[in-house]
Structure 1
């Protein structure tokens, strides 16, 4: 099948298929006499696998390792589990950082009057300055400083 049909069947755009071929994630499809790529069912399966893994947030490197493990029928499942668990830990850490960002922005937004006055705790917090409304308590940095330190 040609690239358009492979794209439709797998849910991966033709542009991304070409990209995956160029970086070696997907083996280059053989060419027909007219130089069109000729994809088969295995290619579509691999592309679907890649799309699903991307939807779960796996990196290209992780997907390459997962594809290699998928193709190796003698693979130890612990290797697959280790990749998945490491990815879960990374996602959880990113979620925690995002929750910190939400709390910092919520705190700064609540401290901002949002009126005609020029003073704005949001801009002051982004600039790394202390605000009266968002100032330190007992010598501890405010949430804006904590969020900035973690990024």
Structure 2
């Protein structure tokens, strides 16, 4: 199938398919005599694998590792599990960061009167709380 059909079948855009090929995440596509890329069912399966990995938040480096493990029939499942558990720890760290950001923004929004007054704890919080105004005129 051509790149458009591969994109539809895999859920990965043609642009990203070209990118994955360019960075070596997937092998170079076979080409027709006219130079058009062609993809087999195995290629589509690999693209779906990558798409699912991206949906789960794995980095490109981690996906490359997962592909290597997936293609290595003599792999140990413990290596795959170790990679997954490492990613879970990274996700936990991101969740904690996002929760702290949310709590800070909720506090700032709560403290803001939201009326005609120029004082705004949200802007003061974003500015480090030491100055107000775009030119720091009220430092």
Fold conserved between structures, TM > 0.5:
yes
Aligned-partner Cα distance in 1 for 2:82–2:63: 13
Alpha-carbon displacement from aligned partner over 1:23-53 (angstroms, at most 9, x marks no partner)? 0000011111111111101100000000000
Describe how 1:74-89 pairs up with structure 2 within 5 A.
Answer: 74-89=74-89
Aligned partner of 1:18 in structure 2 is 18
Alpha-carbon displacement from aligned partner over 1:60-119 (angstroms, at most 9, x marks no partner)? 000000001000010011111111111111011101110001110100111111111111
Aligned partner of 1:109 in structure 2 is 109
Aligned partner of 1:93 in structure 2 is 93
Q: Compute the displacement of 1:126 (Å).
A: 1.3
- In the alignment, structure 1 residue 41 sits paired with structure 2 residue 41: yes
- Unmatched 5+ stretches in structure 1: 131-151
Structure 1 residue runs of 4+, over 6 Å off? none
TM-score, length-normalised on structure 2? Answer: 0.91
Aligned-partner Cα distance in 1 for 2:123–2:16: 39
- In the alignment, structure 1 residue 71 sits paired with structure 2 residue 82: no
Aligned-partner Cα distance in 2 for 1:35–1:121: 60
TM-score, length-normalised on structure 1? Answer: 0.84
Q: 3-state DSSP class of the match of 1:27?
A: coil
- Unmatched 5+ stretches in structure 2: 131-139
Aligned partner of 2:55 in structure 1 is 55
Q: CA RMSD in A?
A: 0.9
In the alignment of these two chains, the number of paired residues is: 130
Q: 3-state DSSP class of the match of 1:50?
A: helix
Q: 3-state DSSP class of the match of 2:37?
A: coil
